[in-house]
Amino acid sequence: MALQKIADRVIDTDVLVVGGGIGGCPTAAKATEHGLNVTLLEKSRLERSGKAGQGLDEVGIFPREGLTALEAIKIYTGSGSAAARPGARAYVNPNALYRIFTRAMWALEELERLGVNMRYTDGEYGWMPWGTGAGGRVGPRVELRVHWQNVKPEMAAGVKKKGVKVVERTTVVDLLTNKGKVVGATAINTRTGEFIVIKAKAVVLATGDLERHYNSPTPLSWKYKMGLNTCPASSSGDGHAVAYRAGADLTCMEMMRPGTIRDILLLQPGQFYLNDGISAKVFTATGEETVLPPGPLDYLELERKGLLPLYQTLEHLPDDFQKRLEIHFADEAMIRLKLTADRGFNPRTHRYQVTGDRATRFNNTGIVIDEDFMSSVPGLYGIGECTDTYGIGAGGTATAGFIVGDSIHQYVSKAGEPVPDEAQVESQKQAAMAPLTVKDGVEPMELECSVRQICEDYGGTYKSEGRLREGLRRLGSLRREFLPRLMAANPHYVGRCLEARNIMDLAELHLLASLGRKETRGLYVMLDHLQKDPSLDNKRICQRLEKGKAVLEVRDIPEIKPEYIKENR
């Protein structure tokens, strides 16, 4: 058969899961329980890959006591205020969210069955208090405190025990489609250079989010400025990019949430103090106590007055609280404690620098999915941060994974045999392998850094039409000049080239999508359109690739389905 001639290896499977993180592992493990043949593609190593590779300290998406799932969703997506404040959550598909909220407790038990330690101290669950908080924040959901430093080794063991075929150190190249349906994917082992074709009846993308089209918060990691202390491998937007190129709908690619970044080595107290009803103190650069400004325009105002940067401090908190915070740091990313100490920063007494106006790490949304987590391309599913349920955290992602794993057999049983198009496989192989033959070309990381710089200079928090157009022009010429000259001395760099191509595609889409939202709304700022565009109230902008061109389309944010309202759990 010709496929065997093109590929070094052909894998035939029922379900292909791309990405073995906190979403992919549950999906793969659960799907095997329905007698399915499951292949899990992981670009790193299952034991320590993804955002949870270093560990996690909190998990879960359980409706707060006394709230039904519907009420929790209403607060979560900020229904009433959604029009005013576009954040990730305002654009989340509420139906997918309903399924996640109503099955969170089930997912908790499933995680335990998979071998993940969910208990906090003395064999008890560590339910977080959700007080009203001095920060004035009432959450719709409850989370569990967890000691998840070893969550990935635990999950990896569970997945392997279930008989999932795990293919590691292998990066996805592109999806294979036939007659509008997904029939698998191609991939490259970035250690051996092996080109792999995976024929699959259904594909689940669980690849994490997109961050690498912007510079990371300072301080940047060494020469190539990778995101510090996160997992750079899982933030190149591979899932977004392959879905986009396969014709799937994406949404809200124009959105960047300016995060509240604390400069000091990403030691982030996070929600901890709010959960306990204790607030961090905030100071201006001149030492006056203040509160965190709500939006980017407020930061502009502070800058004009010379009051930036802002600083946050937890020095007023009692000793037992400080100790708990240290446990939380050790659970989530122990290296931070070491690096902070090296740099002479004492979290008990020093102040954290806050940079709240930079478009940084958080891309809000991605692949549009329905309540069954299927994208607009039949057979292609998405869960977690690469989808439009972004913002549901590790708990929501794991829950989504279990739900998909538990129901995907229904699609698989009637999907029919996957028949990849050989010409498509051939062209994907050529595109992926081309950098191996280029001499005196461009290093992938160098190209990636250039893409980031364009997004920084011409996109970012404070956008304008003129800048966006210039950014697109620059990206276009960068693509023409340098994409064909991407060079890979070995398979390792082929992986980085694939990432660079994905980041470039998505950066272009990001700037283009921004031109589709000519307004200022909440955290989204267009300096030459400082008013809201009422025609975008309760709408979101969707993007897809049609005949090689990006098409933008304004659509309604999905409504909660009537049967869910009737069920009202």
How much of the chain is helix, strand and coil, in % rounded to 5?
A: 40, 20, 40
Smallest CA-to-CA distance from 404 within 205, 168, 112 is with 205
Instruction: State residue 545 phi and psi, 5-degree precision.
Output: -95, 125
Largest Cα separation within the chain, whole Å, is: 73
Q: Which of 323, 343, 473, 561 binds other proteins (CB under 8 A)?
A: 343
Q: Are 49 and 237 in contact (CB under 8 A)?
A: no
Each residue 86-125 as x (binds other proteins by CB under 8 A) or -, in order, gives ----------------------------------------
Q: Which of 9, 34, 48, 518 binds other proteins (CB under 8 A)?
A: 48
Q: Which of 59, 202, 226, 541 binds other proteins (CB under 8 A)?
A: 226
Each residue 471-510 as x (binds other proteins by CB under 8 A) or -, in order, gives ---------------------x--xx--------------
Considering only residues 142 through 171, tell me which ones interact with other proteins, judged by CB under 8 A: 169
Instruction: For residue 37, give Cα distances in angstroms to 3, 89, 123, 162, 409.
Output: 20, 34, 35, 11, 10
Distance in Å, CB of 297 to other proteins, minimum: 31
Number of neighbouring beta carbons within 10 Å of residue 529 = 16
Identify which range of 247-255, 314-322, 337-345, 517-525 contacts other proteins by CB under 8 A. Answer: 337-345
Q: Which of 338, 473, 561, 569 binds other proteins (CB under 8 A)?
A: 338
Q: Which of 334, 341, 551, 565 binds other proteins (CB under 8 A)?
A: 334
Distance in Å, CB of 495 to other proteins, minimum: 8
Establish if 335 lies at the interface with other proteins (CB under 8 A). Answer: yes
Distance in Å, CB of 364 to other proteins, minimum: 22
Cα 83 to Cα 204: distance, rounded to the nearest angstrom: 31
Smallest CA-to-CA distance from 241 within 468, 476, 27, 544 is with 544
Distance in Å, CB of 345 to other proteins, minimum: 11
Tokens of 567: 């069920």
Considering only residues 234 through 253, tell me which ones interact with other proteins, judged by CB under 8 A: 234
Instruction: State residue 48 phi and psi, 5-degree precision.
Output: -140, 35
Cα 478 to Cα 313: distance, rounded to the nearest angstrom: 43
DSSP state of 144: E
Establish if 53 lies at the interface with other proteins (CB under 8 A). Answer: yes
Size of the site for other proteins (CB under 8 A): 38
Cα 151 to Cα 146: distance, rounded to the nearest angstrom: 10
Cα 82 to Cα 326: distance, rounded to the nearest angstrom: 35
CA dihedral sign, ordered 191, 382, 93, 556: positive
Q: Which of 9, 34, 45, 119 binds other proteins (CB under 8 A)?
A: 45
Establish if 217 lies at the interface with other proteins (CB under 8 A). Answer: no
Cα 416 to Cα 553: distance, rounded to the nearest angstrom: 32
Identify which range of 26-34, 119-127, 179-187, 221-229 contacts other proteins by CB under 8 A. Answer: 221-229
Cis amide leading into 219 (omega within 30): yes
Tokens of 373: 């987590």
Q: Which of 176, 231, 488, 513 binds other proteins (CB under 8 A)?
A: 231
Distance in Å, CB of 150 to other proteins, minimum: 10
Cα 71 to Cα 560: distance, rounded to the nearest angstrom: 12
Q: Are 264 and 563 in contact (CB under 8 A)?
A: no
Nearer to other proteins, 377 or 494 (CB): 494
Cα 202 to Cα 185: distance, rounded to the nearest angstrom: 10
Cα 425 to Cα 188: distance, rounded to the nearest angstrom: 12
Nearer to other proteins, 132 or 490 (CB): 490
Q: Which residues contact 329 (CB under 8 A, 6 or more apart)?
A: 57, 267, 336, 337, 347
Nearer to other proteins, 24 or 53 (CB): 53
457 in the Ramachandran plot: left (φ > 0), alpha (ψ -120 to 50) or beta?
alpha
Identify which range of 40-48, 273-281, 422-430, 552-560 contacts other proteins by CB under 8 A. Answer: 40-48
Distance in Å, CB of 53 to other proteins, minimum: 6
Distance in Å, CB of 191 to other proteins, minimum: 7
Nearer to other proteins, 333 or 412 (CB): 333
Nearer to other proteins, 431 or 445 (CB): 445
Considering only residues 430 through 449, tell me which ones interact with other proteins, judged by CB under 8 A: 445
Establish if 230 lies at the interface with other proteins (CB under 8 A). Answer: yes
Nearer to other proteins, 220 or 565 (CB): 220
Establish if 346 lies at the interface with other proteins (CB under 8 A). Answer: no
Distance in Å, CB of 445 to other proteins, minimum: 7
Q: Which of 23, 86, 94, 227 binds other proteins (CB under 8 A)?
A: 227
Cα 199 to Cα 233: distance, rounded to the nearest angstrom: 24
Establish if 569 lies at the interface with other proteins (CB under 8 A). Answer: no
Q: Are 184 and 199 in contact (CB under 8 A)?
A: yes
Nearer to other proteins, 141 or 452 (CB): 452
Binding site for other proteins (CB under 8 A): 44-45, 47-50, 53-54, 169, 190-191, 219-224, 226-234, 333-336, 338-339, 342-343, 445, 492, 495-496
